[in-house]
């Protein structure tokens, strides 16, 4: 049995494209570390035209995803297993950060609900959704892209998903700081050399240098993280 199961409930499953079968997410599924299942809301529509949206009460532009297909899909899933969270990807949710991804990577079963159009009926949020997450202060055409971002950020933290686990531990935000600069061969490129400390073989000095660089980058680019 996989360490984690993620059910992606969405309007446009095609937007996930090759994402789920390639790179770390694809390999994690092949290793049996995670199971990811995509559910098309149109398949849970009650009418023969598979309508899942309608105009908003009170007027205004845009279309709203109706309660019925979302409840039909999610309640069917909840009848098959217990879920730790039903997460709605939306612009007004809590801001995604590495701590959330780390916490979610330890769960067993998660549902990611991707909004679309103008949004979803508020009663879905009130009665089904247990957590709301935003990947940034901007609006996308649909929540599928946000769900893909969250999926990738969570899956790569599952032990065994990334070949070199130490590379994950040193990522930006893992310790509340931005990552230090990295270099590889050649030693000199167009007159720009690798810092001498990285060639010294002195791991204590290298660690100290990377910590200093990480702090300086964070202080310059994201001083809010140091607060």
Tell me: do 133 and 51 sit in the same domain. yes
Determine the pLDDT at residue 169: 57
Within a domain: residue 165?
A: no
Tell me: do 22 and 112 sit in the same domain. yes
Confidence of residue 226 (pLDDT cuts 50, 70, 90): very high
Could you list the residue range(s) of the whole structural domain that residue 210 is in?
170-226
Q: Inform me whether the pLDDT recorded for 167 exceeds 60.
A: no
Tell me: do 12 and 49 sit in the same domain. yes
Determine the pLDDT at residue 94: 97
Within a domain: residue 162?
A: no
Helix (H, G, I), strand (E, B) or coil at 85: strand
Parallel/antiparallel/unpaired status of strands 119-120 and 64-65: parallel
Residue written as tokens 């991804």?
101
CATH number at residue 134: 3.40.1280.10
Determine the pLDDT at residue 176: 83
Question: What's the number of domains the chain is made of?
Answer: 2
Within a domain: residue 142?
A: yes
Q: What is the DSSP letter of 116?
A: B
Within a domain: residue 53?
A: yes
pLDDT digits (tens, 9 = 90+) for 93-112: 999 999 999 999 999 999 99
The residues, ordered by sequence, that sit 6+ positions from 213 with a Cβ below 8 Å of its Cβ are: 180, 181
Q: Inform me whether the pLDDT recorded for 64 exceeds 70.
A: yes
Within a domain: residue 179?
A: yes
Q: Inform me whether the pLDDT recorded for 41 exceeds 80.
A: yes
> Where is the domain boundary, 131, 155, 179?
155
Tell me: do 119 and 195 sit in the same domain. no
Tell me: do 186 and 94 sit in the same domain. no
Tell me: do 150 and 108 sit in the same domain. yes
> Where is the domain boundary, 111, 128, 155?
155
Tell me: do 108 and 147 sit in the same domain. yes
Burial 68-101 (b: 16+ CB within 10 A, else e): bbbbebbeebeeeeebbbbbbbbbebeebeeebb
Within a domain: residue 164?
A: no
> Where is the domain boundary, 155, 188, 210?
155
Within a domain: residue 149?
A: yes
CATH number at residue 194: 1.10.1270.20
Confidence of residue 164 (pLDDT cuts 50, 70, 90): low
């Amino acid at each position: 049995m996989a360490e984690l199961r993620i059910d992606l409930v969405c309007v446009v499953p095609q937007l996930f494209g090759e994402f789920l079968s390639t790179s770390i997410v694809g390999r994690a599924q092949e290793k049996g570390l995670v199971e990811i299942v995509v559910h098309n809301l149109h398949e849970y529509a009650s009418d023969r035209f598979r309508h899942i949206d309608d105009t908003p009460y009170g007027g205004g532009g845009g279309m709203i995803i109706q309660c019925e297909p979302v409840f039909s899909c999610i309640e069917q899933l909840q009848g098959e297993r217990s879920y730790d969270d039903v997460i709605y990807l939306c612009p007004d949710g809590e801001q995604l950060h590495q701590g959330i991804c780390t916490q979610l990577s330890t769960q067993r079963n998660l549902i990611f609900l991707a909004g679309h159009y103008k949004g979803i009926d508020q009663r879905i949020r009130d009665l089904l959704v247990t957590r709301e997450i935003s990947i940034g202060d901007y609006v996308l055409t649909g929540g599928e892209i946000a769900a893909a971002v969250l999926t990738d950020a969570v899956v790569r933290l599952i032990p065994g998903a990334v070949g070199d686990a130490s590379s994950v531990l040193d990522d930006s935000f893992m310790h509340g700081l931005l990552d230090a600069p990295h270099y590889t061969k050649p030693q000199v490129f167009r007159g720009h050399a690798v810092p001498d400390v990285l060639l010294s073989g002195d791991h204590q000095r290298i660690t100290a240098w990377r910590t200093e660089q990480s702090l300086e980058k964070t202080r310059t680019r994201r001083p809010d993280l140091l607060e």
